[in-house]
């Protein structure tokens, strides 16, 4: 319930373009060793989107504080990776970081340095509010550009014009939480957390490996979408059926590691799909009764 109320608070704050919520408190019962990590990321997410968004982070962490099988090391790793995913690198965030360099006086020291990032067209459109984004996506889909076209953007503080462009990108922060990209990220994060919770119930020893799968989804452009597709393939092919009781996989930890090692920058996911199929076949061969039940 607390997470739902937090979601409503930050969405409402986003609609009116303001977020004057107080700085969130650390979750009650948080181990001392994890407090500094969570505190650091509360401030990161306030900078990223605002106090209400940071409160959502705290509410998500709270689900795992004091939970059986969750030790301090696991909680620290979860807090670190959750913050990284909530502060995903869209063009708004990259612009924010470059402007922060300017505020820190980086322009005088690194005037010629700029950052070039390559995005998919649908990824750029997805930072817009849903109504505007959907119209553009429909138009680009009709001409075959949506998922095929790539664009390189320069993020620079080397000139007044470049800084003005960064400020224009950063200003989209106001609508980030109503964007298509945020809706997709929210679904992904919640599914990741849900799978961690199920793992703690079914195979707690494998929970660290499942938490670490968040590192598969990083950056932007083709690498981001490839990592996301690979993550879903591993979850749908191995983790979820194991938790559902359809796949008798005793060593989910090892299976995840084996599958991740097979993941290549291949849109067809040939090696990954083959490896997942082999892991499933071995598990079902060892427990034929499970295959019959499936």
Angle between helices 51-62 and 32-48 (to 10 degrees): 150
Pick from 47-56, 136-145, 155-164, 216-225: least confident: 136-145
pLDDT band at 10 (very low <50, low <70, confident <90, very high): very low
Whether 112 has a pLDDT exceeding 70, the answer reads no
Predicted local confidence at residue 290, as pLDDT: 55
Whether 167 has a pLDDT exceeding 90, the answer reads yes
pLDDT (tens digit, 9 = 90+) per residue, 43-102? 999 999 999 999 999 999 999 999 999 999 999 999 999 999 999 999 999 999 999 988
| Nearest alpha carbon to residue 47 among 70, 77, 23, 73 | 23
Predicted local confidence at residue 106, as pLDDT: 55
Name the strand (E) or helix (H) holding 57: helix 51-62
Predicted local confidence at residue 259, as pLDDT: 98
Percent of the chain topping pLDDT 90 = 73
Predicted local confidence at residue 1, as pLDDT: 46
Please provide the average confidence, as pLDDT, over all residues in the chain: 89
Rounded mean pLDDT, 217-222 = 92
Predicted local confidence at residue 227, as pLDDT: 97
pLDDT (tens digit, 9 = 90+) per residue, 227-271? 999 999 999 999 999 999 999 999 999 999 999 999 999 999 999
| Nearest alpha carbon to residue 162 among 97, 219, 99 | 99
Rounded to whole angstroms, the Cα distance separating 98 from 95 reads 5
Rounded to whole angstroms, the Cα distance separating 16 from 116 reads 33
Predicted local confidence at residue 24, as pLDDT: 96
| R_g over Cα of the chain | 21
pLDDT (tens digit, 9 = 90+) per residue, 143-152? 777 677 888 9
pLDDT band at 109 (very low <50, low <70, confident <90, very high): low
Predicted local confidence at residue 121, as pLDDT: 86
Whether 293 has a pLDDT exceeding 50, the answer reads no
Rounded mean pLDDT, 112-130 = 86
Strands (E), the chain: 114-120, 150-156
pLDDT band at 134 (very low <50, low <70, confident <90, very high): confident
267 vs 112, more confident: 267
Predicted local confidence at residue 280, as pLDDT: 97
pLDDT band at 291 (very low <50, low <70, confident <90, very high): low
Whether 116 has a pLDDT exceeding 70, the answer reads yes
175 vs 131, more confident: 175
What is the pTM assigned to this prediction? 0.88
1 Cβ contact list (under 8 Å, min separation 6): none
């Amino acid at each position: 319930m607390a997470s739902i109320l937090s979601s409503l608070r930050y969405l409402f704050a986003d609609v009116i373009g303001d977020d004057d919520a107080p700085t969130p408190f650390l979750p009650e019962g948080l181990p001392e060793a994890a407090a500094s990590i969570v505190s650091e990321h509360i401030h990161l997410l306030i900078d990223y989107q605002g106090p209400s968004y940071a409160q959502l982070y705290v509410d998500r962490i709270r689900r795992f504080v004091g939970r059986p099988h969750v030790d301090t090391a696991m909680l620290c790793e979860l807090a670190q990776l959750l913050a990284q995913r909530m502060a995903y690198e869209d063009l708004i965030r990259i612009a924010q970081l470059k402007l922060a360099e300017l505020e820190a006086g980086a322009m005088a020291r690194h005037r010629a340095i700029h950052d070039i990032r390559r995005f998919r067209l649908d990824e750029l459109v997805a930072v817009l509010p849903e109504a505007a984004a959907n119209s553009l996506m429909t138009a680009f889909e009709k001409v075959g550009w949506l998922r095929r076209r790539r664009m390189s953007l320069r993020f620079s503080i080397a000139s007044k014009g470049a800084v003005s462009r960064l400020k224009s990108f950063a200003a989209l922060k106001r609508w980030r939480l109503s964007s298509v990209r945020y809706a997709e990220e929210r679904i992904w994060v919640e599914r990741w957390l849900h799978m961690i919770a199920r793992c703690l119930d079914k195979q707690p020893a494998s929970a660290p490996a499942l938490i670490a799968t968040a590192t598969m989804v990083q950056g932007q452009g083709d690498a981001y979408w490839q990592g996301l597709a690979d993550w879903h393939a591993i979850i749908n092919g191995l983790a979820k059926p194991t938790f559902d009781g359809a796949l008798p996989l005793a060593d989910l930890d090892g299976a995840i590691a084996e599958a991740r090692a097979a993941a290549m920058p291949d849109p067809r996911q040939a090696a990954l799909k083959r490896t997942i199929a082999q892991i499933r076949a071995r598990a079902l061969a060892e427990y034929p009764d499970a295959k019959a039940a499936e």
